[in-house]
């Protein structure tokens, strides 16, 4: 079937298939045993415009804000020469948003952390250096973040902290996507336990694994406002789709509550009143849409309005007053 589609596609583009394959007569699998790598290399790019999996791959994004009901969408910032902007998070006083940005289409190790004022983002963008997925301390005087392998400064990967102006960088431990607790005494992050993904909590005095259930991968986590729970998106071994779960921070083995299963995105975020979670989830016609899910009860997630015609909307976090969301998206920039 793939060979037939390849030949038809090449014919449509007036490509001399027999010359490419260096064979004569009818093309068959037996007659071209050594050209399958070439066949694949040529066939896949030609079919990319019509392949659903190719259309789902996110490419480039900016930071936006909007009301929690999906209205009043506003571009927050575009950093010059940066293609991917992600992981926005509001400061606790609501005056600033920290985020990461990268010249690569899908973020990654080349990302840098930026902070900008909510009132005048374009004129106040501050580059704090390499890093991903920042999170504010309760006093907004520090940020915790993580560095990937292959970062521009060739620093040791793992969880780091720094002052809000980018100074005084210190490595805490290995790990990814850290989140500062509401009271400032703990930091939660994604960890690895002998090949098993988990969540750990660290303080200046101790470190504890709080997610005892084995997961193949964890995409991100977020603290409840009271600091007693963590919401997370994870994938169990050989099990799809992903789970949106809630775990207590005391490390009890049976403390996980699986709230919903779906093709979720990365970073769940609690509303300031603790009643809702915002997280992205695959929609029928888009890569990811932002959804709201009530923490209590058994209701399904509900898509936020105003996302029609957008390819993806990710990484949403709440403003401190619960009125607006900051998120990244490839949507058109509002006039």
Coil vs helix vs strand at 308: coil
pTM confidence score: 0.81
pLDDT at residue 71 greater than cutoff 60: yes
**pLDDT for position 251:** 64
- Strands of the sheet containing 158-163, edge to edge, are 132-136, 142-147, 158-163, 170-173
- pLDDT by residue (tens digit) across 306-323? 988 788 999 999 999 999
| pLDDT of amino acid 313 | 93
Going by pLDDT thresholds of 50, 70 and 90, the confidence category of residue 190 is very high
- Alpha-carbon gap, residue 168 to 162, rounded angstroms: 5
> For residue 305, which phi and psi values (nearest 5 degrees)?
-65, 165
Residues 20-30 have pLDDT tens digits of 333 334 434 34
- Please choose, from the candidates 276, 286, 256, 284, the residue with its C-alpha nearest in 3D space to the C-alpha of residue 316: 276
* Residue 182 near residue 201, CB atoms below 8 Å: no
Whether 132 shows a pLDDT value over 50: the answer reads: yes
Whether the pLDDT of residue 96 is over 80: the answer is yes
Share of the chain above pLDDT 70, in %: 80
Cα 96–Cα 128–Cα 95 angle in degrees, nearest 5? 5
At 324, give phi and psi (nearest 5°).
-130, 160
């Amino acid at each position: 079937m793939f060979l037939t589609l390849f030949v038809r596609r090449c014919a449509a583009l007036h490509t001399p298939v027999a010359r490419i394959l260096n064979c004569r007569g009818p093309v068959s699998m037996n007659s071209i045993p050594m050209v399958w790598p070439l066949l694949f290399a040529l066939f896949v790019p030609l079919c990319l415009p019509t392949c659903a999996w190719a259309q789902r791959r996110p490419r480039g994004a900016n930071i936006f804000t909007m009301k929690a009901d999906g209205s009043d969408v506003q571009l927050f910032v575009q950093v010059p020469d940066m293609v991917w902007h992600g992981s926005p998070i509001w400061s606790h006083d609501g005056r600033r948003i920290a985020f990461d940005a990268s010249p690569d289409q899908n973020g990654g190790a080349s990302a840098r952390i930026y902070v900008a004022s909510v009132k005048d983002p374009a004129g106040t963008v501050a580059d704090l250096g390499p890093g991903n997925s920042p999170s504010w301390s309760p006093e907004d005087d520090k940020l915790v973040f993580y560095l990937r392998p292959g970062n521009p400064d060739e620093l040791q990967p793992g969880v780091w902290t720094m002052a809000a102006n980018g100074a005084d960088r210190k490595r805490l431990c290995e790990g990814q996507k850290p989140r500062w607790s509401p009271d400032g005494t703990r930091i939660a992050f994604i960890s690895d336990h002998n090949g098993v993904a988990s969540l750990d909590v660290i303080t200046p005095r101790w470190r504890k694994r709080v997610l005892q259930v084995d997961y193949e991968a964890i995409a991100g986590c977020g603290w409840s406002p009271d600091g007693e729970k963590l919401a997370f998106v994870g994938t169990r071994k050989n099990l799809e789709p992903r789970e949106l779960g809630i775990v207590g921070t005391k490390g009890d083995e049976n403390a996980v509550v699986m709230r919903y299963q779906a093709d979720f995105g990365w970073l769940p975020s609690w509303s300031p009143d603790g009643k809702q979670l915002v997280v992205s989830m695959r929609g029928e016609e888009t890569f990811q849409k932002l959804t709201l899910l009530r923490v209590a009860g058994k209701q399904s997630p509900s898509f936020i309005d105003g996302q029609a015609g957008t390819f993806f909307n990710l990484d949403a976090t709440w403003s401190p007053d619960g009125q607006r969301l900051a998120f990244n998206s490839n949507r058109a920039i509002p006039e």
